[in-house]
Structures are given as C-alpha cells and as structure tokens.
Amino acid sequence: MIIPPLEFEPRLLHTLWGGKRLYGLKGIPAKNLTIGESWEVSPMAEIPSIVRGGELSGISLPQVMQRFGQEIMGEALCEKYGKKFPLLIKFIDAAEDLSVQVHPGKMEEGEEAKRLSNTKNAKNEIWYIMDATPEAEVIYGLSQDTTPHELINYAIEGNLFELLRKIPVEAGEVYDNPAGTIHAIRKGNLILEIQQPIDVTYRLWDYDRIDAESGNKRPLHLTEAVDTAILKRCTKRNVPYRAIPNSATLILEKEFATIEMVWVSQQKFDYEPPFSESFAVLVGLSGESIVSTNQGIEMNIRRGKTVLFPASGMPLKISSNSEGHMLAISLPSPTPLV
C-alpha cells in the first residue's frame, strides 16, 4: 500500500487562557467556547491525531504508526524511535497569559543546568510566531542569576516577574526553548509549537487563576521546577534566518527536530529534508502551495493547514500559482556526523 500524505482532524482544546483565532485559522465555524490549542499532529494516547480522508480515514496516528511506521519515518528513524511518532505539533492562541513554567529533561550540552535521572521525559520546544499583537511578548528565561531558595521565595511572595526576562515578539520569529528554560507565552500571541511528546509541565506561577471545573487554583510545582530550571541569566534571543525564494532555508536543527522555511514563488522545485530519509510535516503560513509526492499524489497547503508527508513519498515537488510560505518540520539523522 502506498501511504499518502496524511492530514488530521484538528483536536481543539478549551483552556482558561484561549481565544477564538484558531476557529478562523482552521476554517471552523466559531462558537462561544474559547480555544487555546489545536493539536495538529499528536501521538499522545489521550488526544491522538485522527486521519481525515483517504483509505486511512478515522484511524489514529498511533495506529497508523504501528502498521506503517517504517514507510512514514524511514528505516533509520524507526530503529531509533520505534513506532511512536516523536513529535507533538500544535497551534497555540493566547488571549490571556499562559502560566510561567518549565519542562524537565536532558539539558543541552554546556548549559548550566541539572540533568534529571529520568531523561526519557525530556521536553524541548521550538516556537514559530504565527501572529502577534503590537504589545505581545514572551517570557524567555531569567533576567539575572538566581538560586533555588531565591526563586522559590519570589514565587511564593508573588514577585516572580522581577526575575523574569520579557521579550517583545513579532510574526515570523523563531525561538528555541530547550528543557529547563523558564518561560511563558503571553497574551496576543498565535504560535506554532513543535515539541517532544511528553506531557510534563512544572508551574511556577499561574496568576492565582481559578479552574472553572475544580473551583480551585491550579497547582504549582515549585520544588520540581527548581530541580530542573536553568538558574543562570538568559541571553538567548530569537533564531536569525533569511528565507530565499524557491528554496528551503534551514532555520534550526536540534537533536529532536529540524525546521526550515519553504518559500515558493511561481517556480517548481524539488524538496527533501536535510536528512533525506526523514518524513516532513509541512505547515502552511501564507498563500497557497502545491506539493506533490514522488508517487504523484498532490496536496494544496494554505495558511493553517498541516500535512504529514511520509518518508516513502520523498522527494517532493513544490510549486504555487502565486506565492506560498510553509514551515517544514523533520528529524535529523539518528547518527549525526561527529
């Protein structure tokens, strides 16, 4: 069986801080319910992606992976990851501030951070800013060096923001958010998030908000957060890149994911990921792009549309009747050159 490109039903999640921009982005009639997240590609057992259309329609991504994992990821990546898809990709609409939080896991080499004994729970993230209001910003690390005792005291006393580094953001920017970085998405942001599929988050501050279902404040995890947080002053900014027409520009290659900016302008060109044996998830950012697999299966990708192109369908041919931009998400080689 030829595995076609896979489009999934959007899994919309109501949140305390969500808005209504995801209805328009996904072409869904708006409702009164605020939506904070649209899970685009999810291997998570509790909220798995469900294939939309084609012979595999109605089947979950975990089920597809069990049957066709090697066709989707390629032999080398299947040997590394098994038959679990190794990324969670989602849109986030922040009408209000998200909690100040940190994720655990294996730290990047050379960073001043602790290494948890259970490194399989690593949760690294990459943010692509889809849209941002003029006042939008993110919390991205600490503004000064601190200690575990000081961090906990500031959080308990409600003064945590004095330690946090706040950065204005603009559409098109990319942020590398490794495990251990204290961070928060603040109101006004519409973000594409690429992360490792681990549901572990430690909250440091949540604005004393009340959960509508429980009637209580959402719990904080100060001890766990301090055990994994990077406590040195953060100086990182957005990842610089310069897109080139009719090509794919490498933006960032991490151990868990590679992202590129694909810009097509009325000229057809071939595309394959930097690690040519990988799949590619293409996310429409603007305009409309036409993408064809090596089996001749064609997909149109507009802003807000997410499609998983299996490794077996590479290389792709990309064109447009006008102009289109996409973010390409893939995996690096499982055996990188030393």
Indicate which residues carry an active-site annotation: 203
User: Strands 6-7 and 306-309: what pairing?
Assistant: antiparallel
Are 92 and 185 within 8 A, CB to CB? yes
Phi-psi region of 225 (alpha: psi -120 to 50; beta: other; left: phi over 0): alpha
* Cα–Cα nearest to 161, from 97, 89, 74: 97
Provide the token pair at 182.
């204290």
Rg (CA), the chain: 20
Q: How far is the C-alpha of 156 from the C-alpha of 330, rounded, in Å?
A: 40
